Chains A and B, each alone.
Chain A
Amino acid sequence: MGLSSVTTVNEATKFCIFDLRRGQHEGQELDKILFFFPADLPFPTQLSVIGLSEGLITFTRIFSPEAACEVIEAERHSHVFYEAEPDIWMVMIVEKNKELEAIWRIDALRRVLKEVHSLFVMFHGSIRALLDKEPSGGLIRSHLYSFIMDYLSDFLVGKKLQLPNFRDSLKERGTVQMLTVGREAAIEVQSLVRVLESCAGNSPCYSLVLFRDLLVSTTLCPDDTINLFTYAVLRLTPRVLSSGASSWSYLRKGNTASHAATGSLLATSASVLDQFYASRETFPGGDGNYHIVRPLQHDKWTKGKDGFLVTDIWSAEVGSLVPTTPTIWLQQTEERMHLCAYQHRNLTLVLLIPVTSILNGEQGVSLVKQQLLENASLKMLRVEEKLSKGWGGENAYHVSGYRYLLVDGDRNVSRASPPGKVTTLTKESLVALSKLREEVDREKNRANWDGPGHEKELEVCIRAKNNAWVIAQVTRGKELYMVLEKANETLLYASDAIEKFSNRYCNGVFSLD
């Protein structure tokens, strides 16, 4: 069963990571490959995929050394390129198929690549660093393999990888969704944040506060915020913890069979990988005996009695039953931090403590935790209560008549119509929106090449075939996408609708003149 399913996946999607600095000599080409999905694809096929990509990168670099190839649109496939680190490329190949809903927006796919890489770096450090640590490549391969397979398992629907397609046009990966709070609650939250900050004495701590799956506060820089927020929503929030073993991702809510399927997929792939590496004697030390931490493993986090979230992912110190506190790397400060997560009902706190500030390991961490409980528990109760009181429910940010996505590119924040409401849109509307977004992405990219400070301003209102209005508006770093179905046919109506929405929900940012 497992194998056949993997084979079907094979045909639809391929995903590889390779290092242009490796395998430059004939006969050593395999050295380049750091990751390939599906892993059981024969090497010649893998090499041909990578060879094509490498060729295109080399070719396009002649004209554009800074930003080489971004995408190849073939007749039946799209190749999406992402240079994750200098000379380390991630390429995703998806099959185009209109009947099978395989209508892609390239930027959305690239954001998947970007996301998995960012998360990887957060937990393991950069790929290059791991390569430098062990030039043979065994270390990085094992890490990438388990990490990416864990990551991809979130996209499994049944036996198929379901990557973001046109149906996700009113979503923006790599952004943060925020809870709107009143001033009083916001001050309470900040009051709590200050206490959290002071828990580890004088060392600079960072914190992230979430309510349900929404961000309430962060003291991290935007990039680190996105990474940690993404991880928290994937693995830490109450929704994820309570959903338990049956369905651990909202993408597959209600799909009880998926877990078993993934398990078999992983098992199969893993065994294939093992065979693959076992058969290769060119990898010295590639005996698979690496101690690999798998932060994206499912169902590994649980809430402890003291309210702190615990996991054995990072295993335990030798001779200790206490699980090791996770550590992550901050992108901004390049500092290694202990990650402590605390949960009270719908409130999740993530506290990051510099590893260097804690001298006696786990003991030191538990001391900080104790401090946190002593100083902040009352405030946490109060904040949770306040936020719960103001919580408008799953459809809190629904605006009737509108299906929208609002992106604040400066702050990497987005807000959209709730998924349940988006599903009411027809396929035509969504496809039209996907295409429109593709156009906007292109314009934005072009503006980026002109350098910073040249932000694009544009407004597009399209009357789709099904008579829906599909609207995109970009103003000074903020983007608004909208679908209005069953709306009046005049353009005036559409622009009026934008104006109303803008004045009401965006402080008039998108108001036309």
Chain B
Amino acid sequence: MLGKASSSQPGVGFSGSGALSHVYIQYPPLRCSIPGSRGLFYDDGNKLLLLLTSNQVFSWKTVPFAPVVAPTSDSIKKLDTLLVRGAGQRLESILGFFWTDCPTCDIIFVKTSGLDLFSYNSDLKSLHLVETKKFNVSWYVYTHESRLVLLASGMQCKNFTGYQISSAGIIRLPKFDMAMAKSEANSKPVLAAEDIHIVTVYGRIYCLQIDRVAMLLHLYRFYRDAVVQQGSLPIYSSKIAVSVVDNVLLVHQVDAKVVILYDIFADSRAPISAPLPLLFRGFPRVNISSSQLSSKDGESSEAKDLSETEAIIYGDDWIFLVPDLICDVSNGLLWKVHLDLEAISASSSEVSSVLEFLQRRKLEANKAKQLCLAIVRTVILERRPVSMVSRAIDVLVTSYSYSIKTGSYFKGMKAEKTSPSGVPRVSSHGNVVDESTSRVDAFGKSVTHEAAGGMDNESINRSTFSASDSDDNASFEPQKSNSHNLHSLGGKIDTQNLMGAETSSAEVHPSALQSQLLGLGNNPLNANVSEQQESQVTSAAISPDEMYSSVFAIVEEEMTGDSSYLVAIIVEFLRSTNVEKIKVHPNLYVLTIQLLARGERYAEVGLFIINKILEPSKEVALQLLESGRQNFQTRKLGLDMLRQLSLHHDYVLLLVQDGYYLGALRYARKNKVNSVRPSLFLEAAYASNDSQHLAAVLRFFSDFIPDFKNTTDHNTYCRILAEMNSSIAV
């Protein structure tokens, strides 16, 4: 039913796959095969895929993920020497190294005997040892996303020391052990590096540990001063891979060729839905016609010779990269994992939990938002129990309120205006909007904030949003993006690489700036609702205005029969918004009056108005007057509302229309209303056939309007008055 509703909604290009799957990879992949390749590397700090040949480094930007991005190439001489000099003097074996944005050091070497922290002097091109931390290390795991390095030691390699080395400084995590089930009495399993995954979801850092004996995936959450195990997830495969897409945890059961989705937001560790295969989507035939205009030239011909092997899901050569990439090393392909929000939402009948899930999605916020709207429309049209719809509405309203408080909703609106410039290929932004730009960067930074500041959920998200905000700016301002690179790791790996990055970004900027200007020109500062929906949205939150225009107004047109159900739903919506102190669009009030009046439920209209359930506004007042054609009490409510709103002109006009011309005059004089034509009053007085009243009105205007005596109105009605008096006299 959800599918049906959403497909009926225009403007949302859901390319429903039809296959049962919640996660997919989209053709075409990024092709990263160069003849003479000596190996592929992934720089998760810069989100670059690096390919080494004998004399060159090719690098592909993976963010934003664009299949047709051209690699930049560099010579590799300097990098070589740097590495040799850094490692040569030591006796212990080096397990690895990573760059950091920590203020006290720049590069960290992990050795079997501990950590060596170096600072880098760019003038001398030399490293200086800053600090050494001594302890035994069997192996280590590091992700730039979390800035967390986990060092394993012990017989079973299950004793861990952890450091978070970020721009906020170095934080040492308390030592902790991981749980390992024993298989037999004597054999103790040894933990390997590939059994440990550091994941970042919702700005929180978790560590996932595979326990092959228990067939469980243990979940540890890192706090500043503690490491807490937070449940375990079952696994059904000896080989497990983990991805994170839009804060959803994907546990790939590689042997079983299925993936299980978890949304580790609440305490529940239940999967979002049943295990389903990873889908390969958009095989060439479908693809060419769709959207990749810019990719057409080289790709379409190449597409034909897409070998069978490329389509193999969970191939042996697949390497899962943090957070959401899959590298097919043997074929030189890079895939990005996507969530099929539509399929996920269609697979559950628990409406409010589906909505909660969708509301948390940032990557495809607009799609999530449209799905939410479609779901709500459907449950209303299907006349589900009010209590159930009410819960669904609560979810949306709470989410909106939260997004207002954290500023993400407004941030989304701001991002919309500049969004075209965030996407390098301006020509294609109309169809393929790559949402990942700001998000991934955002998490790179937000994690730092989180670990440094407390673990409070709200503060995490707030810092997340603020971080991504600045990144957005960085992506289209030349100076800023430059400095951004300097501070980040990428610039330091290789200065020439940096130059390359700069030139490549420079290519983007002219068009980006242009489109930014265009964007500003097109969207005035206060962009209205419809424009918001067109452009990129960074939050799935739904404002009351959108609830009106995309739910209530539409549903009202499609619904037939008794309107009381819809009134009940609107009341629940009002209750929800009132709790969250959110203002509702007057049009919704107008609709409520229309619905009640349609059922001739004027007593309720009165109650709704008097108790201010429908807040006063000119729109509401005018609707009351309109509905009051059939019910004069309702009309009076409208008049009273006009007066209370001090809409003097309209009030006086209506008073005259209703024949209260004397009262209208008094009111007009008191409130200095001089925009109503005297002839209206005079006509009304004449119509009442009361010469005294007509005389009074004439006198009023003669006294209070300076030149009234010279007007035709005055002459006409003086004559009429004289006639009336003479006829009485006769």
A→B interface (CB under 8 Å): 181-184, 186-188, 190-191, 194-195, 197-198, 202, 204, 217-222, 225, 375, 410-411, 452-453, 457, 475-477, 507-509, 513
Contact = CB atoms under 8 A, between A and B. Distances in A.
Nearest to B663: A457
22 contacts: A181-B611, A182-B611, A186-B607, A186-B613, A187-B578, A187-B613, A188-B575, A191-B571, A194-B564, A194-B567, A195-B387, A198-B386, A198-B568, A204-B564, A410-B632, A411-B633, A452-B632, A453-B658, A475-B663, A476-B663, A507-B644, A509-B640
B462 interface: no
A513 B670 contact: yes
B268 to A, nearest CB: 24
B567 A217 contact: no
Contacts of B615: 183
A513 B673 CA distance: 14
B601 interface: yes
B499 interface: no
A505 B389 CA distance: 38
Interface of B: 386-387, 390, 562, 564-565, 567-568, 571-572, 574-575, 578-579, 601-604, 606-608, 611-613, 615, 632-633, 636, 640, 643-644, 658-660, 662-663, 666-667, 669-670
Given A218-B603, A410-B636, 12 more contacts: A183-B611, A187-B613, A190-B613, A195-B387, A197-B568, A204-B562, A410-B632, A411-B606, A453-B658, A508-B644, A509-B640, A513-B666
A476 B655 CA distance: 10
A223 to B, nearest CB: 10
B564 A183 contact: no
Contact of B575 (A187, A197, A218): A187
B660 A476 contact: yes
Contacts of A411: 603, 606, 633
A476 B613 contact: no
A218 B610 CA distance: 13
Nearest to B643: A508
B613 A222 contact: no
A507 B646 CA distance: 12
A195 B670 CA distance: 46
A113 to B, nearest CB: 25
A219 B669 contact: no
A375 B387 contact: yes
Sort A-B residue pairs by CB-CB distance and give the 10 closest, nearest first: A186-B611, A194-B568, A513-B666, A410-B633, A187-B575, A513-B670, A190-B571, A183-B612, A186-B613, A191-B575
Contacts of A182: 611
Given A219-B603, A375-B387, A509-B640, A453 B659 contact: yes
Contacts of A183: 578, 611-613, 615
- The secondary structure that dominates the B interface is helix
Contacts of A225: 603
Contacts of A191: 390, 571-572, 575
B603 A187 contact: no
Contact of A476 (B579, B608, B636, B666): B636
Residue among A182, A197, A475 with the highest chain B CB neighbour number at 10 A = A197
Contact of B604 (A219, A475, A476, A477): A219
Contacts of B611: 181-183, 186
Contacts of B633: 410-411
A202 B561 CA distance: 11
A507 B640 contact: yes
Interface centre among B633, B663, B669 (most CB of A within 10 A): B633
Contacts of B607: 186, 190, 217-218
Contacts of A452: 632
B654 to A, nearest CB: 12
Contacts of A195: 386-387, 568
Contacts of A453: 632, 658-659
A183 B607 CA distance: 11
B628 to A, nearest CB: 11
A394 B692 CA distance: 48
Contacts of B562: 202, 204
Nearest to A332: B600
Contacts of A222: 603
A509 B615 CA distance: 19
A461 B660 CA distance: 22
A219 B386 contact: no
Contacts of B632: 410, 452-453
A513 B575 contact: no
Contacts of A476: 636, 660, 663
Nearest to B640: A507
Contacts of B603: 218-222, 225, 411
B392 to A, nearest CB: 15
A491 to B, nearest CB: 18
A210 B603 CA distance: 15
B621 to A, nearest CB: 13
A146 to B, nearest CB: 32
A508 B666 CA distance: 14
B569 to A, nearest CB: 9
Contacts of B640: 507, 509
A221 B600 CA distance: 9
Greatest chain A CB density within 10 A among B390, B632, B636 is at B636
Contacts of B666: 513
A188 B660 CA distance: 38
Nearest to A202: B562
Nearest to A218: B603
Contacts of B613: 183, 186-187, 190
A410 B604 CA distance: 14
A466 to B, nearest CB: 32
Nearest to A189: B611
Contacts of B602: 221
Nearest to A178: B610
A417 to B, nearest CB: 20
Given A186-B611, A194-B567, A194-B571, A513 B667 contact: yes
A219 B568 CA distance: 13
Contact of B669 (A188, A198, A220, A513): A513
Contacts of B662: 457
A191 B613 CA distance: 11
Nearest to B599: A204
A427 B636 CA distance: 37
